[in-house]
Amino acid sequence: MALMTYAQAAALAVAHEMDADANVVVIGEDVGRGGIFGQYAELQARFGEQRVIDTPISEAAILGAGVGMALAGLRPIVEMRVVDFALCGMDEIVNQAAKNRFMFGGQGRVPMVVRMPIGIWDSSAAQHSQSFESWFAHLPGVVVLCPATPQDNYSMLRAALASGDPVIYMEHKTLWGLTGEVDVTQTATLGQAQTLRSGQHLTLVSWSKQVHACVQACEQLAQAGIEVELIDLRSIWPWDREAVLASCAKTGHLLVVHEAVQAAGFGAEIAATVAETVGCKVKRLGAPRIPVGYAPVLEAQSRVMAADIVAAARSLLS
């Protein structure tokens, strides 16, 4: 076990995969300088400019090159800096990477990992603070991952690179400095959730940074005698239906929490599935359908805090 940040864990995962397979390459803006979050620190000095490749400022070109590299036999890690910028290259993801294996009868595969930092980043305003996991969950042909801890950012990134399919890999911008223990021998299974806390009164499902707010809420609720079962979904698609349904069958109540806008968020898919299958009481909690403001007082309106989660849980159980 080693203590490291979320960013250091990712850089270590990439280094281990690049050591193990010469076909793993990194492409993106500023990756040679370590990336804006330090997620590629020292990798270009170690592996050279032919494998850690700085690109022009063109997301469409970066993603298009990544798709071509993957079809030619490489395993590219494509850096988008923040998810908002990926919108400039959506055609390459939606119509090329996601559909190639299907359209050509499995003759072509796109083993590409696209890193898209998501979420509210302090005072970064409407164009740099979005969470689009539900967009990509709606897209057949891609895997969608949202690691919440340094351990998961290490293990899940390695699993993503080994999967052989296009992976939308979403790391929350404010988690880069989060410190935790990382076991480099620990592996991750894509599509498998993790139960962080057992309880009998309420099932609480979340992912990414919001998991940490849920941990705080669970501690507050426990003081009032409310025992919450907390599930870190980790993988948005495929998602761990079995773990969530089993927990909901036990508790009879489900609260899904995410930072993304609540309207049409992925929480709706989970809530509907549980309602149809288990028939328990369900509730969603996400951001209002507004752009994230620049001013702190406006930005705060888009945040889902521990106090909001506690209030929603109490309302669901009342």
Strands 179-182 and 52-54: unpaired
Active-site annotation holds for 16 = no
- What residues contact residue 250 under an 8 Å CB cut-off, 6+ apart? 200, 203, 229
Query: Cβ neighbours of residue 224 under 8 Å, at least 6 residues apart?
Result: none
Of 128, 172, 212, 258, which one is the catalytic site residue? 128
Q: Of 253, 249, 209, which Cα lies nearest the Cα of 228?
A: 253
Contacts of 47 (CB under 8 A, 6+ apart): 18
For residue 273, the number of C-alpha atoms closer than 13 Å in the C-beta half-sphere is 15
CA distance 27 to 17: 15
- The identity of residue 160, as a single letter, is A
Q: Measured between alpha carbons, how far is residue 307 from residues 196, 201, 216, 219 in Å?
A: 19, 18, 9, 11
Instruction: Return the bridge partners of 285, or none.
Output: 257
| H helix or E strand, kind and range, residue 12 | helix 6-20
CB atoms within 10 A of CB 177: 11
> What is d(CA 95, CA 301) in angstroms, rounded to the nearest whole number?
35
The whole-angstrom separation of Cα 1 and Cα 183 is 5
Known catalytic residues are 128
